[in-house]
Amino acid sequence: MMRISEIISEKYSGFTKGQRLLAAFVLEHCDKAAFMSSFELASVSGVSQSSVMRFATALGFDGFTDFQQALQTELKYRLSALSRFEVMSDNPDDNDVFRGIAAADAINIKKNTDLNDVDAVNNLCTRLSLSSKVYIYGQGYASAAAQYLSYYLRILLPNVCDVNHTGVDPISSVADIDNGDLLIIISFPVHSDTTKKLAAFARYKEASVATISEGSKSEISNYADINLISEYGDYGVNGTLAPLISLCGSIICLLVRNDEKAQKKLRLSDEAANFTI
């Protein structure tokens, strides 16, 4: 998925004078523009409301609402960890911050159920069951979710590789990937060159690729046979992993629910863990 700044740069030469004024405001004040109505954006930019509508269309969006949602997504990726806490500066004390993040997590976990078709999750579970080998990679802080998913999949499946913890670079870790294998990539913007190269290499080797990313049109989803979507919040350190971990937990539960052998393996694992001398 292209950033707003990239879209504006690509189309800038064809803009009218009014559209260039709007572009300048959006690029400099994305944090304000993301939450303005079309009327408010027109007022601060010195153009008509209809110009704002035409600007959104000129950028390739279906309308102002889609444009505004894209701006809000853009804002997530621009905010540093410190900026995210500053956004919450209206909260009077630590208790409100604590409760606010928990409430936001609950909302974003619920969003995942609206963003993902359960058939897509079941499709991923089927591919997990049928794959000769499963590779899992998480970019940056998403490696924590990859490790969580890998932990349970190693119990349930015979051949699982956590790419983040092989001790070598990601591409070397999947050097033997082949047709019949599955690579799961968990990644959010900005998607690194390593992540994209990993996905492209898996496709070159005719392996299946499943991604968990920020949207159906994300940059990394272009390589995917299956793409699941996860919210990861607006606040906290780079957002939150709660919705992502919840989605990974759902994948495990649906995999176990539809596979008696997997259920048996999980029971045996629990028995072994609770064994006492």
Q: Are residues 142 and 213 in the same domain?
A: yes
> Does the residue 258 lie in any domain?
yes
**Chosen domain end from 78, 94, 125:** 78
Cis link prior to 190 (omega < 30° from 0)?
A: yes
> Does the residue 237 lie in any domain?
yes
pLDDT computed for residue 236 by the predictor: 45
In this structure, which amino acid lies at residue 22? L
* Mean pLDDT along residues 96-111: 76
> Does the residue 154 lie in any domain?
yes
> Does the residue 102 lie in any domain?
no
Handedness of CA 66, 67, 69, 74 (dihedral sign): positive
Q: Are residues 118 and 39 in the same domain?
A: no
* Mean pLDDT along residues 77-91: 52
pLDDT computed for residue 76 by the predictor: 64
Kindly indicate the confidence band of residue 21, based on its pLDDT and cuts at 50, 70 and 90: very high
Which is it for strands 226-229 and 208-213: parallel, antiparallel or unpaired?
A: parallel
Kindly indicate the confidence band of residue 223, based on its pLDDT and cuts at 50, 70 and 90: very high
d(CA 238, CA 51): 34
> Does the residue 85 lie in any domain?
no
**In the predicted model, is pLDDT for residue 81 greater than 50?**
no
Q: Are residues 67 and 168 in the same domain?
A: no
Q: Are residues 143 and 30 in the same domain?
A: no
What's the number of domains the chain is made of?
A: 2
pLDDT computed for residue 257 by the predictor: 87
Kindly indicate the confidence band of residue 79, based on its pLDDT and cuts at 50, 70 and 90: low
> Does the residue 60 lie in any domain?
yes
Handedness of CA 22, 24, 27, 32 (dihedral sign): negative
CATH of the domain at 43: 1.10.10.10
pTM, two decimal places: 0.69
Domain containing 22 equals 4-78
Q: Are residues 35 and 140 in the same domain?
A: no
pLDDT computed for residue 237 by the predictor: 46
* Mean pLDDT along residues 146-166: 95
- Token pair, residue 160, equals 């699982």
Q: Are residues 117 and 47 in the same domain?
A: no
> Does the residue 121 lie in any domain?
yes
Q: Are residues 64 and 149 in the same domain?
A: no
CATH of the domain at 163: 3.40.50.10490
Helix extents (H) in 131-223: 143-156, 170-173, 193-204
Q: Are residues 228 and 144 in the same domain?
A: yes
> Does the residue 264 lie in any domain?
yes
**Chosen domain end from 29, 53, 78:** 78
Q: Are residues 119 and 62 in the same domain?
A: no
**Chosen domain end from 35, 62, 78:** 78
* Mean pLDDT along residues 30-52: 90
pLDDT computed for residue 106 by the predictor: 82
* Mean pLDDT along residues 8-23: 90
Q: Are residues 51 and 135 in the same domain?
A: no
d(CA 21, CA 46): 8
